[in-house]
Structure 1
Amino acid sequence: MHDKQCFLLYQGCFLVISFCMLWVFFPVGGSLDLALIHPWVSESGQFLLRDNWYLAELNHRYVKDLIILLYAIFFIIWLASFKVKKLRPLRWSYGYFFCMVILSTSMVGLLKSQSAHACPWNITIPTSQGFFWDFSASRGHCFPGGHASTGFALMAGYTVFRLSNKKRAYFFLVSGCILGFAMGWAQMMRGAHFLSHNLWTGWIIWMVNVVFYLVNYKRFTRNPASQE
């Protein structure tokens, strides 16, 4: 079977199966969401780690800025490839990588801007006996998770380098999964997102990368060695 057909078959199955699993087991604000976020919310419905420096500054600001700097470096190399002859072989792969980062994170941002799901810290209602979750809150602009998308966007490197450098491809894939999940989990601890928000973020970004990789597959096969 041709490589493109194999990729389409495996990734198509993965996307469909993972979509069904998320839909069934991780509905927004479902039992798993509430169980996993429970350790981080007080009996009065307050998220005590909301302003924690390590989560609010180190994770939400500095780690994000470092990853954005990496994306900026790819963009700078792409620009330099128009002037520096040695960088010309990298033009397509680095330009494509940067475009996929922008496209996938923008897709998450667009969906988030239209979302009716509010953030966990905005839907806890204190009572004399504790608190309850008010899921009637609408236009919360909190789904999917925007912060996690910065980390998950690294997965674009897998499709860029899968034909030319498998070690590098898997490095980007694993790094993107780890960073996206870790950044999203930290936001969950603060009360900014449910875990489902971030899992759906990862699914959306991977889906976008799979679709655009298949559309541009011929370009990647012309001279994969030039993508090193």
Structure 2
Amino acid sequence: MKSRFYAYNFGIPLACAALVFLMFDMTRIDIAFSNLLFDPMTQTFPLDKIHFFEKLTHKWARIIPNWTAEIALVGALLSLVWPLVNPHMRPRLGAMLDRSKVAPVLRFAADHRRDFLFVVVAFALCTGVIHFLKSHTSVYCPIETTLYGGKMAHIEWYSNFQLFHEAGSGRCWPGGHASGGFTMLALYFVARRYQWRFSSAILWGSLLLGFVYGTTRVLQGWHYMSHTFWAGIFVWLACLLTALAFYGRARLDVPVLSKRTQKAFIAQSEVSL
């Protein structure tokens, strides 16, 4: 069971990384695809000039991950309030909060403090990892390179990677906008912990959101398609490692709700006997 967990959760993304590297980074597929979207007559990517498309896919789309991160942060802060209230020591205050319908919210936040903190930390680490890779590879976006009317040379990330210092001013690899959608994968690990019925939907929905975010930027000439795949791989690994640190492998492999259900079933069986 343990080996299967690691093989599935680490093996698949690492295999995807090898596949993306061989299929895209070692070939010219990225450039060939972007060539189809580029208008050589006007030296532009036509969709980059449509203001509404930019606002819809780049500005408004950020609402989903931004609001999720803000809700998680508020939840984490509220989770600290209920222990301070301590209704056993302050019954009048507890009664007042119950009447105002605030107490259930505070209790819920306190009960799920670890989950709120996990989402906050996972989002922060995902953002940090993507920012580190961007600054330490200094890859320029297609629209900025001489291939598509820009002034900067086209380079591959692996030829310019610097581990201990910034590699330059380029900030295009991996896809930052795509990573914003992929960070919603953090919710999948919360859902997996509690064995929520819709956990698979959250997984595939988060992957789809990241791919949609990334693809729209590809259509505008601000990323290559492989940048989206790399963003998804790194965000998954960052979320997975954070989830292991917060919950442990056993809790992710055997969700909490499953254990509770099993205990309830055993207790009910003993009562019936």
TM over 0.5, shorter chain: yes
Bigger shift: 16-25 or 5-14? 5-14
Q: Residue 160 of structure 1: CA displacement?
A: 1.9
Q: Residue 41 of structure 1: CA displacement?
A: 0.5
Q: Aligned equivalents of 2:25 and 2:187: distance in 1?
A: 29
Q: Aligned equivalents of 1:112 and 1:87: distance in 2?
A: 35
Aligned to 1:224: 256
- Residue by residue over 1:129-182, the C-alpha shift from the partner in whole angstroms, topping out at 9 and shown as x without a partner, is xx9x94259742211111111100001111222131343422321121111100
What aligned pairs does 1:79-118 form with structure 2 within 5 A after superposition? 79-83=77-81, 84-118=106-140
RMSD: 2.7
Q: Residue 53 of structure 1: CA displacement?
A: 2.4
Contact conserved, 2:193 with 2:255, CA < 8 A, in 1?
no
Bigger shift: 216-225 or 41-50? 216-225
3-state DSSP of counterpart to 2:111: helix
Aligned to 1:32: 29
Bigger shift: 71-80 or 149-158? 71-80
What aligned pairs does 1:195-214 form with structure 2 within 5 A after superposition? 195-214=225-244
What aligned pairs does 1:80-159 form with structure 2 within 5 A after superposition? 80-83=78-81, 84-125=106-147, 134-135=153-154, 139-159=169-189
Contact conserved, 2:38 with 2:148, CA < 8 A, in 1?
no
Bigger shift: 202-211 or 62-71? 62-71
Larger radius of gyration: 2
One-letter identity of the residue aligned with 1:192: W
Unaligned runs of 5+ in 2: 82-105, 157-167, 258-273
Q: In the superposition, relative to structure 1, how do residues 159 and 214 fare at CA in structure 2: closer, same or farther (>3 Å)?
A: same
One-letter identity of the residue aligned with 1:135: H
Aligned residues: 219
Q: Aligned equivalents of 2:15 and 2:155: distance in 1?
A: 30
Identical amino acids, percent of aligned pairs: 24
Unaligned runs of 5+ in 1: none
- Residue by residue over 1:39-73, the C-alpha shift from the partner in whole angstroms, topping out at 9 and shown as x without a partner, is 22012432121132243111111111333012211
TM-score scaled by length of structure 2: 0.72
Q: Residue 195 of structure 1: CA displacement?
A: 0.6
Q: Aligned equivalents of 1:210 and 1:218: distance in 2?
A: 10
Q: Residue 27 of structure 1: CA displacement?
A: 0.8
Aligned to 1:66: 64
Contact conserved, 2:126 with 2:238, CA < 8 A, in 1?
yes
Q: Aligned equivalents of 1:136 and 1:175: distance in 2?
A: 32
Q: In the superposition, relative to structure 1, how do residues 147 and 194 fare at CA in structure 2: closer, same or farther (>3 Å)?
A: same
Aligned to 1:15: 13
Bigger shift: 151-160 or 162-171? 162-171
Aligned to 2:163: none
Q: In the superposition, relative to structure 1, how do residues 151 and 220 fare at CA in structure 2: closer, same or farther (>3 Å)?
A: farther
Aligned to 1:183: 213
Q: In the superposition, relative to structure 1, how do residues 77 and 136 fare at CA in structure 2: closer, same or farther (>3 Å)?
A: closer
Q: In the superposition, relative to structure 1, how do residues 32 and 167 fare at CA in structure 2: closer, same or farther (>3 Å)?
A: farther
Contact conserved, 2:185 with 2:236, CA < 8 A, in 1?
yes
Contact conserved, 1:152 with 1:202, CA < 8 A, in 2?
yes
Q: Choose which of 32, 38, 54 in structure 2 pairs with 1:56.
A: 54
Q: In the superposition, relative to structure 1, how do residues 136 and 200 fare at CA in structure 2: closer, same or farther (>3 Å)?
A: closer
Contact conserved, 1:55 with 1:190, CA < 8 A, in 2?
no
- Residue by residue over 1:202-227, the C-alpha shift from the partner in whole angstroms, topping out at 9 and shown as x without a partner, is 000011122233333438739824xx
